[in-house]
Amino acid sequence: ASAVDPKPIHRLEESLINRIAAGEIIHRPANALKELLENALDAGATQIKITAKDGGLKLLQIVDNGSGIRRADLPLLAARFCTSKLSTFSDLSKLQTYGFRGEALASISHVAHLNVVTKTREDSCAWRASYSDGLLAPAKAGTSADPKPCAGNDGTTIAVEDIFYNIPLGLRALKSPSDEYARILDVVQRYAIQPKRLLPVQEGMSSYRLPLLVLNSTYQTGSNTADVSTPSSRTVKSAIKTIYGPNVAKELLEAQAEAGPEDEFEWQAEAWLISANYHAKKPAFLLFINQSARLGLAFRASLDIDPSKVDVNVHPTKREVHFLDEEAITQKVADSMQVVLAANAQSRTFQYQT
Ligand code: ADP
Ligand code: MG
153 shares a domain with 22: yes
Same domain, 133 and 269: no
Within a domain: residue 229? no
Q: Is the CB of 104 under 6 A from ligand 1?
A: yes
Residue 29's nearest CA partner among 138, 88, 112 is: 112
| Percentage of the chain lying above the pLDDT 90 cut | 38
**Residues 159 and 83 reside in one and the same domain:** yes
Give the C-alpha separation, 48 to 52, whole Å.
13
51/134 same-domain check:
yes
Average pLDDT of every residue of the chain: 79
Same domain, 255 and 211: no
CATH classification of the domain holding 318: 3.30.230.10
Counting residues of the chain whose pLDDT is more than 70, the rounded percentage is 74
67: Cβ below 6 Å to ligand 1? yes
> Both 64 and 112 in a single domain?
yes
Indicate if 173 and 26 belong to the same structural domain: yes
Whether 339 maps to a domain, the answer reads yes
The residue type at 13:
E
Mean pLDDT of 127-149: 96
Q: What is the pLDDT of residues 15-67, one digit of tens each?
A: 889 998 898 889 999 999 999 999 998 898 989 999 999 999 999 999 999 99
Least confident range of 18-22, 196-200, 237-241, 289-293? 289-293
Q: What are phi and psi of 226, to 5 degrees?
A: -75, 145
Q: Please report the pLDDT score of residue 216 as a whole number.
A: 78
In a domain, 234, yes or no: no
Candidate from 18, 31, 34, 42 with most ligand 1 atoms within 8 A of CB, to mutate = 42
Q: How confident is the model at residue 75 (pLDDT cuts 50, 70, 90)?
A: very high
Return the best residue to mutate from 35, 39, 86 for the ligand 1 pocket (most ligand atoms within 8 A of CB): 39
Q: Which of these ranges, 65-69, 273-277, 341-345, has the smallest mean pLDDT?
A: 273-277
40: left (phi over 0), alpha (psi -120 to 50) or beta: alpha
216-252 b/e (C-beta count within 10 Å ≥ 16 → b): bbebeeeeeeebbebbeebebebbbbbbbeeebbebb
Number of domains composing the chain: 2
Are 191 and 253 found together in one domain? no
Which residue range forms the structural domain that includes residue 300?
245-353
The pLDDT-based confidence of 344 (bands split at 50, 70, 90) is confident
On whether residue 137 sits in a domain, the answer given is: yes
Say if CB 253 and CB 275 are below 8 A apart.
yes
**Cβ atoms within 10 A of the Cβ of 279, count?**
10
Closest to 99 in 3D by CA, of 25, 182, 192: 25
Q: Are 176 and 308 found together in one domain?
A: no
Find all residues with CB under 8 Å of 287, minimum gap 6, and list them.
Answer: 293, 294, 296, 300, 301, 302, 303
The 10s digit of each residue's pLDDT in 164-215 is 999 887 777 777 889 999 999 988 887 887 654 434 334 443 345 567 778 8
Please tell me the distance from the alpha carbon of residue 82 to that of residue 96, in angstroms, as a whole number. Answer: 17
User: What totals of helices (H) and strands (E) does the chain contain, helices first?
Assistant: 7, 16
Query: Could you tell me if residue 261 is inside a domain?
Result: yes
Q: Clarify whether residues 165 and 92 are in a common domain.
A: yes
CA nearest neighbour of 300 among 315, 326, 280, 318: 280
- Which of these three, 197, 217, 237, is where a domain ends? 217
Determine the average pLDDT of the residues in 312-334.
61
Does a structural domain hold residue 125? yes
Q: For position 93, what pLDDT does the model report? A: 73
Angle at 214 between CA 117 and CA 304, to 5 degrees: 95
Same domain? 77 vs 204? yes
Residue identifier of the C-alpha nearest atom 8 of ligand 1: 102
Q: Is the beta carbon of 148 within 6 A of some atom in ligand 1?
A: no
Q: What is the mean pLDDT of residues 149-175?
A: 90
* CATH number for the domain that contains residue 77: 3.30.565.10
Residues 184 and 333 in one domain: no
201 CA to centre of ligand 2 in angstroms: 21
In eight-state DSSP terms, residue 71 is G
Evaluate whether residue 240 is within a structural domain. no
Asked whether residue 38 is assigned to any structural domain, the reply reads yes
pLDDT given for residue 233 in this prediction: 72
Least confident of 91-95, 114-118, 275-279, 345-349: 275-279
